[in-house]
Amino acid sequence: MKKSAILILLVLMSVKLLAQGTFSGDLMMNLNFFMRDPSIGASNNPLYDNALSGNDGWLDLRYSVNGFNFFVRADAFDNSNLKNPTSPMTDYGIGAWNVSKDVGDLSISVGSIYDQIGSGILFRAYEDRGLLIDNALMGIELKYKLTKNITIKGFTGQQKNNNLVNNVRYAPVIKGFNAEGDFSAGKLHILPGIGVLNRTLDQASMTAIANTINSQALDTRFNPMYNMYAFAAYNTLVYKNFSWYAEGDYKTHEAINEPNAAGNTILVDKPGNVEYTSINYGRKGIALSLTGKRTEDFVMRVSPNPSQTPLDQYLDWQPINAVLRPERLMSRYTPTSQDISEMAGTANLTLSPNDVTNFTLTYTHINTLENLDLYREYYFDMFYQGWKSWILQWGAQYMEYNILQYESEGSTNHPIVYAVTPFVELTYRLNEKKSIRAEFQYQYTQQDYGSWAYALVEYDVAPKWSVSVSDMYNVVPNPNNDNHDYHNPGLNYPTVYAAYTKGPHRFSLAYVKQVDGINCSGGVCRYEPAFSGVKATLTSSF
């Protein structure tokens, strides 16, 4: 595969020399310095004890000429903590490559395929660098415009192994078909679609599955299947100010990992299904959105090998029904989609009585199909910009979060975190380019770490400078918190941040102390252990 990537680079360079085309690229670099701090749990792993620093880097190169599109991405990881936040990973190579060409109504793409069917519940091959997800389909995809209203596509290949670069692939073979339409009749617009997916296991995967099944109790054993088939039907309907998306997905029975009554994970033989819908209505002064999802045993993996980490081998992506909150304290308890058992619904209402005032109300209700409480949210905020130089946003959230289910924390006696979080954000515009923004949040809870206070002050000089100082303080610690190996209540978690932008280049530097838990940044949320140290980033495009 290394030879293939080198060949692509040589072809790209030679075509550049021989013909006039369009060349572009971008670079992203992350650098971490790990500073040991046992008081918050940032210690006793190789990152703080031995490595002391690490970096991640991606270089994308794109070239288009005579209808051909070439893409190659080089990845570099030196003692990186992205894959496993407590263990360094070092690797280099070609992380992705692709060659595509349009021939009339036919589009041909070979190499790393990033695409999805419908909302992604059936199939989604995508990259998310914040989570180090790169489950590209290594293969070939054909798209054909059958009529002016109907497009079909088919693909086949193997999923990239996210443990390594250089396009190492998982052995099972994936095949898919998708057809989508686009029709209008007056003010009515519909976009229907169907999808089919097939995954065929290799012999080594089947042998591992059979060995696991044979090690289980006699009454739980079954004959595993080489092939899994999955189907999706979906449609978007738009009429005036109203839109409605609906999707249904079904997969045939296969071996999946599922906890039994004793709490142990075993392989079971089950089919799966998902029903998902989203309704939106908006007109002057009001906007309403409703989403709902029901999931039952819809585990879409390359292989049900139980040794894989949670972010590996997923063939799909299930939408998160809850609203992702950017506020630091609220984002600590962000629910993830459950592929075994989930019944979820969210209602979000925005009212705008005038041009300078917005009110938002949100309710989210998530349970398992067995009616186990997973998540509740009652949320309100008001946004006001009627003053000459001031912008005000304030509100509050009441939240219930099953920390035992989502993070394997808590206990059977105290599985739910109950929290009330009021917040306020003020922005003062000094002039057209300069502004000062302040955030204040307080989270009252008697579970997990206990109550928190958070404050941030940020100074912006558009479009070049952004500087901020923040602190997160454990105001009223939970004396019964026994989920962690360290007990030092009343700690501060400060962050000092600076960013500079010049043209297509952006540099940032931050000193960070971060408590363990869910952390959200740029719309990406994941569980992270405690962090202490310095983070630097560089992004550039050309």
Is residue 284 situated within a structural domain?
no
CB 334 within 8 A of CB 520: yes
Q: Which among 292, 279, 200, 280 has a CA at the least distance from the CA of 248?
A: 292
Same domain, 37 and 149: no
Q: Torsion angle, CA of 367/417/259/342, rounded to 10 degrees?
A: 20
Which pLDDT score, from 0 to 100, does residue 149 have?
95
Is residue 464 situated within a structural domain?
yes
DSSP state of 406: H
Which pLDDT score, from 0 to 100, does residue 260 have?
77
Which pLDDT score, from 0 to 100, does residue 165 have?
62
Which pLDDT score, from 0 to 100, does residue 2 have?
52
Same domain, 22 and 79: yes
CA of residue 506 relative to chain centroid, distance: 23
- Whole domain around residue 130: which residue ranges? 104-271+299-316
Is residue 280 situated within a structural domain?
no
pLDDT tens, residue order, the chain (542 aa): 455 555 555 555 555 555 578 999 999 999 999 999 988 888 888 999 999 999 999 999 999 998 899 999 999 999 998 888 888 889 888 899 999 999 999 999 999 999 999 999 999 999 888 778 888 999 999 999 999 999 999 999 999 987 666 658 889 999 999 999 999 999 999 999 999 999 999 999 999 999 999 998 998 999 999 999 999 999 999 999 999 999 999 999 999 988 877 777 889 999 999 999 999 999 999 999 999 999 999 999 998 865 544 556 889 999 988 999 989 999 999 998 999 999 999 999 999 999 999 999 999 999 999 999 999 999 999 999 999 899 999 999 999 999 998 888 766 777 899 999 999 999 999 998 999 999 999 999 999 889 999 999 999 999 999 999 999 999 988 877 755 544 456 688 999 999 999 999 999 999 999 988 876 655 556 777 889 999 999 999 99
d(C-alpha 209, C-alpha 171), whole Å: 14
Q: What is the CA radius of gyration of the chain?
A: 25
Same domain, 124 and 94: no
DSSP state of 38: G
Same domain, 449 and 344: yes
Same domain, 135 and 259: yes
HSE-CB at 13 with a 13 A cutoff on CA atoms is 6
Domain total for the chain?
3
Tokens 């186990």, residue located: 372
Residues 6+ apart with CB under 8 A from 386: 354, 356, 357
CB neighbours (10 Å) of residue 219? 5
Q: Torsion angle, CA of 484/488/490/492, rounded to 10 degrees?
A: -90
Which pLDDT score, from 0 to 100, does residue 9 have?
57
Q: Torsion angle, CA of 528/530/534/535, rounded to 10 degrees?
A: 10
Six-digit token string for 476: 């009223």
Same domain, 140 and 50: no
Same domain, 307 and 175: yes
